[in-house]
Amino acid sequence: MNFKNYVVIIVTFLLLTFSVGSSILNYMKSLDETQKELKERSLPLSIDNIYTEVQRNLIEPTLVSSMMSNDTFLKDWIINSETDIKKISRYLESIKNRYSVFSTFLVSEKTGNYYTSKGLLEKVKEDNPNNAWYFKFKDIQDSYEINLDFNKFLGNSLIMFINYKIFDDDFHYLGATGIGIKISYINEMLKHFRAKYNFNVFFTDKEGNIILSEKENDDIGKVKNIKELNLIKKGALVDNSNLIEYEKNGKAYILNTKYIKELKLYLFVEAEVDKFTKELEKTFYTNLLISLFVTAIIILIILYTIKNYNKKLEKLASHDSLTQLSNRRNFNEYFEKSLKLFKRDKTPRSIIFFDIDNFKMINDNYGHLVGDNVLKRIAAILNLQIRDCDSISRWGGEEFLILLNDSNLEQSFKVAQKLKQSFENDLGLNNLVKEPVTASFGVTEFKEDDTIDKIISRADNGLYAAKNSGKNKVEKVK
| Residues marked as catalytic | 398
Contact 196, 190 (CB under 8 A): no
CA atoms of 330 and 324, how far apart (whole Å): 12
Backbone angles phi, psi at 125, to 5 degrees: -135, 145
Number of residues that make up the chain: 478
Residues in Cβ contact with 172 at an 8 Å cutoff, skipping those fewer than 6 apart: none
From CA 331, how far away is CA 345, in angstroms rounded? Answer: 21
Would you state the torsion angle of the CA atoms of residues 90, 93, 99, 102, taken in this order, to the nearest 10 degrees? 160
Q: At 323, is the secondary structure helix, strand, or coil?
A: coil
Residue 449: C-alpha distances to residues 340, 412, 413 (Å):
11, 20, 22
Is the separation of the CB atoms in 440 and 355 below 8 Å? yes
The terminus-to-terminus CA distance of the chain in angstroms comes to 46
How far is CA 49 from its chain centroid? 34
d(CA 19, CA 24) in angstroms, rounded, equals 9
Strand arrangement, sheet containing 349-356? 391-396, 399-405, 349-356, 439-445, 474-477
List all residues 6 or more positions away from 373 whose beta carbon is below 8 Å from its beta carbon: 432
d(CA 154, CA 103): 9
Beta bridge partners of 108: 175
Q: What are the distances in angstroms from CA 435 to CA 273, 354, 365?
A: 91, 19, 12
Q: Which long-range contacts (CB under 8 A, 24 or more apart) does 304-312 make?
A: 306/4, 306/7, 306/8, 310/4
- Strand 439-445 versus strand 474-477 pairing type: parallel
Pair 440, 417: CB distance under 8 Å: no
| DSSP calls for 115-144 | EETTEEEEE--TT-GGGHHHHHHHHSSSSE
